[in-house]
């Protein structure tokens, strides 16, 4: 049973556009929701994370929107750049426990 | 931010041999380390969780006798793939977290180790 569903599987956006990736979770005990960015042949790097007591968090061009009642959260990348082309993973965890990852979204930003 | 290193970054070995991968937290003490494997164009699959000084907790379906994990200190965990076979070829990634030094859920990932078994 997949606990975190991520969509879309791939996304193509023009430079300067907005990239939106969505995730839905099932376990209401999750209390930490990070997004990771991974380039080919590299380990994931934490991009931004949110806890369920806030509905939005913004860091530079990256924003997480969180909807607790719908059990959904999304990543918005504003002014997308070719350097943002990577695979993005959402995840969810309970306290200090292990994370459950989404299947990933391959983002391509065309110049 | 915190830095996690892995060694080696890539390794090629013959079928039947054992390979050891090291994961080190360079500037913090990791209370917990996680080991993942990732196949091409797939997500990270958690293999095991290890806490310093205690036995690792393996995920369902992961052979503990094949994937030996040792978390000998607060800065070092090792994964040994014993009697490796071609199907063990994958990208192995570790991550580390610290209750004491960082936001309690924040995981810091290593750069990964590419294992190819011939």
Question: A46 to chain B: which residues are within 8 Å by CB?
Answer: 1, 106-109
How many Cα atoms are found within 13 Å in the side-chain-facing hemisphere of A71? 11
The partner residue sitting opposite B104, judged by closest CB among A41, A96, A104, is A96
Question: pLDDT band at B107, cuts 50/70/90?
Answer: confident
Q: Could you give the maximum distance between any two Cα atoms of chain B, in Å?
A: 42
Q: Between chains, do A43 and B110 touch, taking CB under 8 Å as contact? A: yes
Q: Which SS3 state, helix, strand or coil, does residue B110 take?
A: coil
- Does pLDDT of A2 surpass 80? no
Return the pLDDT at A79.
98
Q: Percent of chain A scored above 90 by pLDDT? A: 87
Beta strands A45-50 and A33-38 are: antiparallel
Question: pLDDT band at B10, cuts 50/70/90?
Answer: very high
Q: A81-98: per-residue pLDDT in tens?
A: 999 999 999 999 887 678
The partner residue sitting opposite A43, judged by closest CB among B43, B97, B111, is B111
Q: B38-86: per-residue pLDDT in tens?
A: 999 899 999 999 988 788 999 999 999 999 999 888 899 999 999 999 9
DSSP A71: T
Q: Between chains, do A104 and B112 touch, taking CB under 8 Å as contact? A: no
- Does pLDDT of B106 surpass 90? no
Q: Is B72 exposed, middle or buried (0-12, 13-18, 19+ CB in 10 A)?
A: exposed
Q: Percent of chain A scored above 70 by pLDDT? A: 97
Q: Between chains, do B32 and A96 touch, taking CB under 8 Å as contact? A: yes
Return the pLDDT at A56.
96
Measured CA distances, B29 to B52, B68, B89 (Å): 10, 21, 30
Q: Does A73 touch chain B (CB under 8 A)?
A: no
When pLDDT is averaged across residues A37-61 and rounded to a whole number, the result is 94
- Find the range with the poorest average confidence among A55-64, A98-107, B24-33: B24-33
- Does pLDDT of B30 surpass 90? no
Measured CA distances, B89 to B1, B51, B81, B107, B115 (Å): 30, 26, 10, 24, 5
Q: Is A81 exposed, middle or buried (0-12, 13-18, 19+ CB in 10 A)?
A: middle
> If you measure CA to CA, which chain A residue comes closest to B103?
A96
Question: A32 to chain B: which residues are within 8 Å by CB?
Answer: 105
When pLDDT is averaged across residues B3-25 and rounded to a whole number, the result is 96
Cα A58-A60-A64 angle, rounded to 5 deg? 30
Return the pLDDT at A7.
97
């Amino acid at each position: 049973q997949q606990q975190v569903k991520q969509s879309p599987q791939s996304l193509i956006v023009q430079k300067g556009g907005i990239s939106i990736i969505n995730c839905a979770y099932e376990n209401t005990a999750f209390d930490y929701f990070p997004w990771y960015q991974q380039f080919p042949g590299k380990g994931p790097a934490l991009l931004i994370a949110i806890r369920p007591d806030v509905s939005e968090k913004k860091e530079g061009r990256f924003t997480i929107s969180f909807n607790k009642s719908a059990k959904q959260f999304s990543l918005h990348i504003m002014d997308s750049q070719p350097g943002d082309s990577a695979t993005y993973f959402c995840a969810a965890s309970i306290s200090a426990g292990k994370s459950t990852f989404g299947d990933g979204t391959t983002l391509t930003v065309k110049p | 931010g915190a830095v996690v290193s892995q060694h080696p970054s890539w390794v090629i070995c013959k079928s039947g041999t054992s390979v050891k991968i090291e994961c080190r937290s360079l500037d913090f003490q990791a209370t917990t380390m996680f080991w993942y494997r990732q196949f091409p164009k797939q997500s990270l699959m958690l293999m095991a969780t290890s806490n310093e000084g205690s036995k690792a907790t393996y995920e369902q379906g992961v052979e503990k006798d094949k994937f030996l994990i040792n978390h000998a200190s607060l800065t070092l965990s090792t994964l040994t793939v014993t009697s490796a076979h071609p199907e063990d070829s994958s990208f192995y990634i570790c991550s580390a977290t610290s209750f004491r030094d960082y936001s309690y859920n924040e995981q810091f990932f290593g750069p990964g180790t590419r294992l190819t078994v011939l």
